Structure 1
Amino acid sequence: MAGGGAWLGNVVAQPAAAPAAEGAIGGLSTPPPYAPSGRRPKNRRATWSQQFQASHGWSAGGAGTQSAEVNDKAQFVRGTQAVRVTTNGSGKQSYVRRSGMDAMDLSGKMIRLVFRVDDVTDLAKMVFYLGSGGLKNYFSWTFHSHSKTAANYVQSGEWVTVHLQWADVKSAAGTYTVSADGKPSTTTDFTDMSFAVYDNAAGPVTYRLQAVELIPDTSEAFPKGVVSITFDDSHKSIHDLARPIMDSFGFPGTSYNIADAIGTGNFMTVDQMRSMQNFSGWEMGGHAYANATHTASYPKLTAEQADEDFRKLREWLVSNGFTSEHFAYPHGAFQKTSDGVPVDLIASRHFTTARSIISETIESFAPANPYRLKSLTGITDGTGIGGAPLARLTGEGGQLDRCRESGDWLILCLHKIVEGAPKTSTEIGTAGLTTLMQELADRDIPVVTVEEAMAYYQ
């Protein structure tokens, strides 16, 4: 595979999601009775691809770089090599870049990155720069900021695929600008690219870059973008308050349900779930089987315990007439189980997608990793209670404007609906939910369930 310039022949692309390992996963060798149907998203073929094979022409550098090998044959997932760089623990920028390439048009395109961080312990953030004039003019995407506590899209020792879309551009320099409503001043004539990594100044980080590619973005299917409105935890208010509001706009939702809670206390009943599915077009997905599992989250369990909860959840959904193969992690947690097995790998035995609450970038078609779907959570019209203010979506240049202008898939995560003023960041008032629906309608952004969205690229 020649590494210099555009390469359009037989692109062997990174799979959209990590495939299930052959044989046992952490000792889980018995196939589940309701395995995913295999309707995984199709891979988007690259229109331009740099795979970092021989004579690729990119260089490593920056004040934060300790050492580099631009033709490293120790770790790779394509061809016979990748680029390896180690930062110096200073917190300064380390990069792999190239300038002066043939001018590129990124209209209707998104950028696909394939990379690996050997150990994320001292990782701070990752940024991609696209520009011209030796990067005197550039747009930048901060596509990963590492958390010491929450689940991270980038984890140690994994080859990771990330999509960068125009909706996620927040910063510009030189002659480039981003308008108040989120539009970049240009999407053409780019000659420079830079993949940058910053450590946390506590120690070095070794990273490897395998591919930088251009692929068609979501706008070919949804020119005005598309939104999925999801609800976690099976609260009764989803049926009583959210459904009537959304019915009035003709919008369906996706409810991620805790099987053990259904029919108890302030949670929905099976009949209410069936009514929403059968008469309002809602999707009934999974969130956990046991309420105790939801409270603890899957990383607190062993792999066998997590797998058993997933199995019982799928059996419960199917036996009650709910055909969704889509799941949301309780608390967004998909880290490794207590005995060291990745929760998202276990989820892949039972479901076709699994949604997180990571919102560093907006989700795309096809998802870079359907077992770590990105979503914006904590949306509220309350004040002084944290979360994501509703205005962050509905204001000029907010997430809805960016979704509409760039044709992205914006997944929203809501929880409880209240009639008065919200008191916590997991609540949104009926007035706020109505405003959100009206803003979607005014922008003519389609609203689809997660299942419907995934069907476009299967």
Structure 2
Amino acid sequence: MSRFSRRAALRVAGASALVVAGGTLLSGATDVGGPSGRRPRYRRPTWSEQFQAGHGWTVAGAGTATADLNDTSVFTQGRQSVRATTNGTGKQSYVRRTGMTAMNLAGKMIRLVFRVEDTNSLSKLAFYVGTESFANYYLWQFHMHSATATNYVQSGDWVTVHLQWADVTSAVGRCSLSSRGVPTTKSGFTDFSFAVYDDAGGPVTYWLQAVELIPDTSSVFPKGVVSVTFDDSHSSIHDLARPAMDRYGFPGTSYNIADAIGTGSSLTVAQMRSLQNHSGWEMAGHAYATTAHTASYAKLTAEQADDDFRRLREWLLSNGFTSEHFAYPHGAFGKTTDGVPVDLIAGRHFTTARSIVSETTESFAPAMPYRLKALTGINDGTGIGGTALSNLTAPGGRLGRCADNADWLILCLHRVVEGTPTSSTEISRAGLMTLMKAISDRGIAVATVAETMEHYT
């Protein structure tokens, strides 16, 4: 029996065992259908600050207690990073630089690499791009920490975030946004600032490793790309969603629960094959056992989660479904009950794993392929919560921003119904048709998750 550790786990390149310092976590071969490892090439920056000696940035703000501009003890690039600790007052602590040579961010996205030691007292993270010592700026508030939902930023992880123009939160001064959310300018920026806020309940220690500019999604998809995904294997995917999408030639990605197939109101294997073989859909994975899906992998041990991943991948392959992509049950990746990151285990069996984090939209290439972001709860009901369909289709909505600024918008749907939705996990057939027409009218590409990930640049 393998022993499990609560210490940070690492996947050994070229090996089948998941190990931690001092012992094996999950031994033995992974399933024969393990991931091919086909991932987008690393996007090399056109401009990069990795906070090595002489970087010229400062740490300040009313929320800062202590800082080290040259921390040589904790880093993931080069030989050092910038470290700061907040003072527990809920005020801003920042790492910034002003007066740099003016930069053009058209066709670019910002890549941040950072680490938060303990997120228990984290409130939010933001990034500013501006001029004249921030008299004018664009603001991305890119992470609001939750005490209940799964968070993209996890304690002790080096996290990568891509900031795109479609996700600008607000603008000040001569920096402004049109009614459609398009920035009036994307060039001439001299000031950058990475901002951290604690929740006023305790201090937060963080490290900033890199601020970089890389090509955005428009270099591959000029008007952005949408992936329409469906969770839980409902038969309405075949009966109602497929006809609405076939009309436009749009494929979808179905994330399936293996042992639900052929039972109750779930898809059958024959329907899955028809979707794949005749409409170009992708048959991906969501869980093998319904009990694992109900619990979520974060409520299982590492061995139980790994076994469910393995059985799911083998089931897909044995039935002719070759997708290497996965969606976490309930969007939860966190850590298993014995402290192993679920996204690390996912990497033994799949090439990507999708969450339902939607603070910002996804990009190509994705910042973290095992934490793909997706917008969920899309519905055309009334008073049932979730994301109103009109928020996507209205001027300045998510579809318009996708087309105007180019990003990878992953939509997470569940059940399609003939009548009025009564749950945030339902959308009406008419509502889905409205959504498909809105995508088509804007000229946005539609691709499965697998198709999107196949693009190399």
TM superposition score category, shorter chain reference: over 0.9
Q: Distance in 2 between matches of 1:367 and 1:19?
A: 21
Q: Distance in 1 between matches of 2:76 and 2:169?
A: 31
1:250 aligns with 2:229: no
Q: Distance in 2 between matches of 1:165 and 1:19?
A: 30
Contact 2:326/2:352 (<8 A) preserved = yes
Q: Distance in 2 between matches of 1:328 and 1:310?
A: 11
Residue deviations 1:305-330 (CA, integer Å, cap 9, x gap): 00000000000000000000000000
Q: Distance in 2 between matches of 1:221 and 1:39?
A: 17
1:24 aligns with 2:18: yes
| Larger strand fraction of residues | 2
- Counterpart of 1:270 in structure 2 is 269
Q: Distance in 2 between matches of 1:27 and 1:194?
A: 40
Question: Cα offset for 1:35?
Answer: 1.1
Report the residue type matching 2:104 in the other structure. D
Residue deviations 1:38-73 (CA, integer Å, cap 9, x gap): 112211000000010111100000000001110111
Question: Cα offset for 1:31?
Answer: 2.1
Q: 3-state DSSP class of the match of 2:416?
A: strand
- Counterpart of 1:10 in structure 2 is none
Q: 3-state DSSP class of the match of 1:437?
A: helix
Q: How many residues align?
A: 441
Q: Distance in 2 between matches of 1:366 and 1:438?
A: 26
- Counterpart of 2:320 in structure 1 is 321
Q: Distance in 2 between matches of 1:324 and 1:436?
A: 25
Alignment of 1:67-78 (within 5 A): 67-78=66-77
Q: Distance in 1 between matches of 2:135 and 2:445?
A: 38
Q: Distance in 2 between matches of 1:21 and 1:131?
A: 42
Q: Distance in 2 between matches of 1:174 and 1:87?
A: 28
Q: Distance in 1 between matches of 2:37 and 2:182?
A: 37
1:109 aligns with 2:108: yes
Alignment of 1:210-289 (within 5 A): 210-289=209-288
Q: 3-state DSSP class of the match of 1:27?
A: strand
Report the residue type matching 1:344 in the other structure. D
Question: Cα offset for 1:180?
Answer: 1.0
Residue deviations 1:239-282 (CA, integer Å, cap 9, x gap): 00000110111100000000000000000000000000000000
Report the residue type matching 1:20 in the other structure. R
Q: Distance in 2 between matches of 1:47 and 1:361?
A: 22
- Counterpart of 2:4 in structure 1 is none
Q: Distance in 1 between matches of 2:313 and 2:229?
A: 18
Question: Cα offset for 1:74?
Answer: 1.0
Report the residue type matching 1:24 in the other structure. L
- Counterpart of 1:331 in structure 2 is 330
Contact 2:129/2:193 (<8 A) preserved = yes
Which has the larger displacement, 47-56 or 24-33?
Answer: 24-33
Report the residue type matching 1:385 in the other structure. I
Q: 3-state DSSP class of the match of 2:293?
A: helix
1:386 aligns with 2:385: yes
Q: What percentage of residue pairs aligned between the two structures are identical?
A: 69
Question: Cα offset for 1:407?
Answer: 1.2
Q: 3-state DSSP class of the match of 1:78?
A: coil
Report the residue type matching 1:45 in the other structure. R
* TM-score, normalising length: structure 2: 0.95
- Counterpart of 1:137 in structure 2 is 136
Q: Distance in 1 between matches of 2:71 and 2:322?
A: 46
Contact 2:10/2:18 (<8 A) preserved = no
Which has the larger displacement, 415-424 or 38-47?
Answer: 38-47
Question: Cα offset for 1:457?
Answer: 2.8
Q: Distance in 2 between matches of 1:110 and 1:293?
A: 37
Q: Distance in 2 between matches of 1:31 and 1:346?
A: 13
- Counterpart of 1:404 in structure 2 is 403
Contact 1:170/1:178 (<8 A) preserved = no
Q: Distance in 2 between matches of 1:113 and 1:361?
A: 13
Q: Distance in 2 between matches of 1:357 and 1:267?
A: 22
- Counterpart of 1:187 in structure 2 is 186
Contact 2:142/2:359 (<8 A) preserved = yes
Report the residue type matching 1:32 in the other structure. T
- Counterpart of 2:428 in structure 1 is 429
- Counterpart of 1:148 in structure 2 is 147
Q: Distance in 2 between matches of 1:211 and 1:373?
A: 21
- Counterpart of 1:11 in structure 2 is none
Question: Cα offset for 1:79?
Answer: 1.2
1:456 aligns with 2:450: no
Q: 3-state DSSP class of the match of 1:249?
A: coil
Contact 1:365/1:457 (<8 A) preserved = no
- Counterpart of 1:89 in structure 2 is 88
Question: Cα offset for 1:406?
Answer: 1.1
Q: Distance in 2 between matches of 1:77 and 1:276?
A: 43
Q: Distance in 1 between matches of 2:340 and 2:456?
A: 29
- Counterpart of 1:44 in structure 2 is 43
Contact 2:86/2:93 (<8 A) preserved = yes
Q: Distance in 1 between matches of 2:456 and 2:26?
A: 29
Question: Cα offset for 1:128?
Answer: 0.2
Q: 3-state DSSP class of the match of 1:186?
A: coil
Question: Cα offset for 1:78?
Answer: 1.1
- Counterpart of 1:7 in structure 2 is none
Question: Cα offset for 1:20?
Answer: 2.4
* TM-score, normalising length: structure 1: 0.95
Which has the larger displacement, 272-281 or 32-41?
Answer: 32-41
Contact 1:254/1:284 (<8 A) preserved = yes
Report the residue type matching 2:11 in the other structure. A
- Counterpart of 1:417 in structure 2 is 416
Which has the larger displacement, 246-255 or 22-31?
Answer: 22-31
CA RMSD between the two structures: 1.0
Question: Cα offset for 1:19?
Answer: 6.9
Q: 3-state DSSP class of the match of 2:430?
A: helix
Gap runs ≥5 in structure 1: 1-17
Q: 3-state DSSP class of the match of 1:121?
A: helix
Report the residue type matching 1:178 in the other structure. L
Q: Distance in 2 between matches of 1:157 and 1:343?
A: 14
Contact 2:39/2:454 (<8 A) preserved = no
Q: 3-state DSSP class of the match of 1:229?
A: strand
